[in-house]
Amino acid sequence: MTTVSTLPEVVTVRAPAKVNLELRVGPRRRDGYHDLATVFQAVSLHDEVSVWRSDDWQVLAAGPYAELVPTAGENIAVRAARLIAARGEVDEALTIRIDKDIPVAGGMAGGSADAAATLLACDLLWGLDLDRDELGELAAELGSDVPFPLQGGNLMGSGRGERLTPVLARGSFDWVFAVSGTGLSTPEVYAEADRLRQQWRSGPPPAPRVSARLMAALRSGDAEALGAALGNDLQEAAFALRPELRDLCEAGIDFGALGAIVSGSGPTVAFLTASHEAALDLSVSLSAAALCRDIRRARGPVPGAQVVAAPRTPRSPGPG
Ligand code: ATP
């Protein structure tokens, strides 16, 4: 009898970037993390991750930000693959190809999207058949922002941001992302936020909460209300470290954006616009003002990690 493998040889999964519509940051915890209350929205900028078996661990990167993608040793996609390999007791090395369309180190959780995509791709490649909850647990081990791109849509995040719950939302929103030249490291921005807080207030900050205003705006699907409700507790820290980001936010509002917010820990700035046409107009104005390195448009919400291709190429029949 001949055996033909039913497992795919290459699996490709795409996963979305995120924007935090609101990011509220509580006091620094003993473990060094901060308690967060946030609402994530997945947006239509995607990385594609392909995995296949190889003799050694290897990362190949392509796309506009490829040169900024770390090689195998430090890449979070490799950590994700090794983690799920350990969970499934698989002892195989992989080549991981990342088609990178999400700005790197921009506060849009591109690395986390790659990690989420890799978990799903490896699950399929190795036939592990983990359910979404099991994948979510592995994702949370890898990083606070990794569970979200597995699910996508609009979700509330609590804890370090990794505990996700649904939010009532309708509508679809047009975004313009102004990508700044210089990365801001997430720990650097949190440290600056802590420093500013010590200057401004005597006691510890209150427990973080997402505003009723933002939830109402999402329920109604009203872009104008959402634009006015956007908020980020890390924004002042990002402005302190990169003063030009404040000018960028103000310029976008002057050019007609409904709202402007530093995305996560920055330095990408997200502008909410009234329509696709308004997003095009804003892109042209921002581009002419030459205030940022790159401009990307996207819509949100979009679904989380999805399998793009998993061809089941039959292996050569074995002997006998
Ligand atoms: P954070 O999760 O810190 O908010 P971010 O969203 O600002 O990150 P990422 O694009 O995820 O930005 O990259 C953060 C850092 O992670 C990069 O500077 C890079 O060195 C490292 N990194 C590791 N793996 C990846 C990857 N697959 N893609 C991009 N960056 C990666």
As a whole number of angstroms, the distance between CA 77 and CA 13 comes to 12
Instruction: Please say whether the beta carbons of 267 and 106 come within 8 A.
Output: yes
Residue that is written with structure tokens 């050569």 in the block = 316
Q: State the pLDDT at residue 212.
A: 97
Q: State the pLDDT at residue 186.
A: 87
Q: What is the pTM of this model?
A: 0.93
Bridge-based pairing state of the strands 154-158 and 34-54: antiparallel
- Out of 76, 102, 180, give the residue to mutate to test ligand 1, the one with the largest number of ligand atoms within 8 Å of its CB: 76
Between the CA of 105 and the centroid of ligand 1 the distance, in Å, is 5
Q: State the pLDDT at residue 318.
A: 39
Domain ranges of the chain: 11-167, 173-300
Nearest residue to 132 via CA among 305, 309, 308, 312? 305
Measured CA distances, 176 to 31, 43, 238, 271 (Å): 35, 11, 19, 5
Q: State the pLDDT at residue 203.
A: 73
Amino acid type, 85: A
Ligand 1: residues with CB < 6 A are: 69-70, 74-77, 98, 104-112, 114, 145, 183, 186, 264-265
Whether the upstream peptide bond of residue 267 has omega within 30° of 0, thus cis, is yes
Three-state DSSP state, 155 = strand
Nearest residue to 24 via CA among 179, 215, 220? 215
Q: State the pLDDT at residue 161.
A: 87
Q: State the pLDDT at residue 249.
A: 96
- Is 18 catalytic? The answer is yes
Which architecture does CATH list for 173-300?
A: 2-Layer Sandwich (3.30)
As a whole number of angstroms, the distance between CA 112 and CA 189 comes to 18
pLDDT, mean of each 10-residue run, the chain (320 residues): 69 97 92 92 98 96 92 92 98 97 92 98 97 96 96 96 94 95 83 88 82 98 98 96 94 97 92 98 95 94 95 50
Residue nearest to atom 4 of ligand 1 (CA): 107
CATH of 11-167, one of 3.20.20.80, 3.40.1160.10, 3.30.230.10, 3.40.50.150: 3.30.230.10
